[in-house]
Structure 1
Amino acid sequence: MMADKPTYEKLESIIKELKAELVKSKQIEESPRENKEKFNVMLQSIGDHMSMMDKELNIIWANKTAKKIFGNDIIGRKCFEVYHKRKSSCEPYPCLTLKTFQDGKVHEHYTEVIDKNGETIYFHCTANVALRDKKGKPKAVIELSRDITEQKRAEEEKSKLEARLQVAQKMEAIGTLAGGIAHDFNNLLMSIQGNISLILLDMDSTYPYRKRLKNIEKQVQRGAKLTSHLLGYARKGKYEVKAIDLNQLLEDILETFARTRKQITIQQDFAEDLSVIEADAGQIEQVLLNIFINASDAMHGCGNLILRSINVTHKEMKGKLYKPKSGNYVLLTVTDTGIGMNKKTIERIFDPFFTTKEMGRGTGLGLASAYGIIKAHGGYIDVESKKGQGTTFSIYIPASEKKEQQVVKTAEGVIKGTGTVLLVDDEKIIAKVGQDLLEAVGYRVLIANDGKETIEVYRKNWKNIDIVILDMVMPNSGGGEAYDRMKEINPDVKVLLSSGYSIDGEATNILERGCNGFIQKPFNINDLSQKIRKILEKKFSQH
């Protein structure tokens, strides 16, 4: 709500008092000093800005408030020069003074003025005739203006917050939808991948259809990559979080990228003391590649790609559409010399399925997933661009005090095993293919299809069960509750979480409560056998 503005009645009252003093017979000639002092005492007591202009728009009088705002030298200068730093009058009609000189009426409006320090101030102004000539025409106009800058900025901030909330709600709604689609699609892919793994397991390398099956497996992997973009946008994109050196990750990615984009000049300015970040290296790599590829496309494969990393704090993240959390951040800026974007494109750049590329050249998920992944890491991503002037992406990721962890590559291939596995999945086709996979590598398998059945089967057989493969989303209590109940039955229970979602959210919470590992659907027989062996090796080494 704006503060009370100067009213017409107040201005009328001031002008009447002025006129009453002026018409006192010959008082001005008889005691000009006394009269002038009386006027000054009366008018200078008004806290709002007041000034009087003649027909040529010269300021012929101003109170102390006006001089304090615009300087002591404003008398005799043009009002448009003093208040708006213009060289000519504000014609035709934002100018209240001109309007009042023309029709002799009271006029008011909101306007921006520039003070003596060059700062913009917001005024509510009211203008009225102060003096008339013998013919009754306006001879001088007085303006009364109130500073409403604080209220104006408060309203602007409120509007920004409302716009920010609308964007957040839109992103959240689309993210929920995208995450659900990705989860269900991953379950479909799991069924296909599982059956292909089983067929390939017993198939000789010379079999004529083996190559076709391997091609199908590649398409499954492509489908899984597509759903990873959706999960990324849904902020469910972290798989394995470790303390990593962003500079080193950038060096590794750029080495590959540069070989495929030889006409692009890459300029690097990386801080030597850059803080470590806690992140999923694969997901951050996905973000960076998406941005690099977009930059390359914007430059039509030829131009400059400028990368800069630096340590910053939340205090340096000013003028954003969001309020960053307090703390230290690693900032990466990626600037290209491409064609740039207009305002409308910038507003939609992180929307899923939005693309400016021609049909068949992009899914519109790259930058959408980048947005979700960075948000999932507790960070922020901004974009600045102008048509024809290139684009800059700024990525802020929270800094960590942890030491960098080196990524250890695991051996490939199927690892045989023994023991009993409780396999939990609410989709029977996935449970069946999972059972076949586990039995193929040597395990005995028990099946449960919901949370309640899981607890019952485990309570009856826990002494013989070596590991539980637990689905996250199930009817009759989810994976989290089932895990807690099994933990009550046997504090040493070994559990491998399995989900069409990624490791974010509830999966992370369960892992923090002592769960032993996570595997993302769709997985093949190699990945599954290796994950189980890793957990069971720890189990046996503890006894």
Structure 2
Amino acid sequence: MSNESNEYYKAYLREKQARDELETLLEDKTRSLYLANQELEANLAQLKRQHAAILQSEKMATLGVMSAGVAHEINNPLAYINGNIGTLGQVAKGVSDLIKTSQSFSKDAIDQDDFKEAFAQLESQYQLCFFAEDAQDLIDDCQDGCQRIATIVASLLDFARPKNNEFVMADMTEAIDSALGLLANQLKHIELSVKKSDIPMSHCNLAALNQVVINLLMNAKYACEQAKSEGMHASSEIELHIKKVSTHIIIEVTDNGTGIAQDTIPHIFEPFFTTKPVGQGTGMGLAVAYGIVSEHSGTINVASTEGEGTTVTVTIPVNHVK
């Protein structure tokens, strides 16, 4: 073999060796990338589980804060249901005796005078004529009370139940209405102004947005109560507004509460940061709200002046694509 051929062969071997080394290196890198990707996917799944657990934990904490107001909201219809049933129960004996007396009269067991006397006694004892006029109203009140309780309980169960965090096409106004329904008793001493403009359907998580609105309203209520107790304002006022501006939906909550110090505002979205006394706040409400709004590719901003009040603005882009 000539020297020239030998040199070509050596060059071929060097090239083959380099190619083999590169292929081996590529296989190693590919394997490493695959394992790293698997680890990232596992970490992401764990983070999602932890995020869901935090959301649920904050939801239950919020539910605990609302429980006193919700109990009162349920007790009101229960009270008049109980009263109406007591009235119906008392009259039921009189109606039963009247039916028996009427049967005796129809069978000629008693004459007309005896029937009239028996009826007069029953009317005097049980006020049967009053019952005949008002019975349907009493029943309607009971049904209305039962429906109110059922609605409240259904709303609580829906709020407390873990959600699958599905995004669907929906009207975000529903999240507002649901929150207001749950907080009706909590906000009954607040001068609440709700403005709802027509907004388009958007791809969103209504259950999560409901939690955001509840957290914002609860914070506003607390600030208003503090301001009133400190003599800052004669009345507690909250304004809730949902509207569409350009390609975004805006949810705005404004209160005339105590306001937030400027050096505190940068920290309010930090987990476990709270200005409330121990036992009155978890420090997770705004952190969770921030996370939910971020999931919707939105922003949440706070403007506040101490002694005057706070405005929280949630801005979420309208999403028709998914």
TM-score, normalization: structure 1?
A: 0.28
- Identify the structure with the greater strand proportion: 1
Compare the two structures and name the one with the higher helix fraction.
Answer: 2
Q: Tell me the TM-score normalised to structure 2 length.
A: 0.47
Larger relative contact order (CA 8 Å, sep ≥ 6): 2
| Higher CA-based Rg | 1
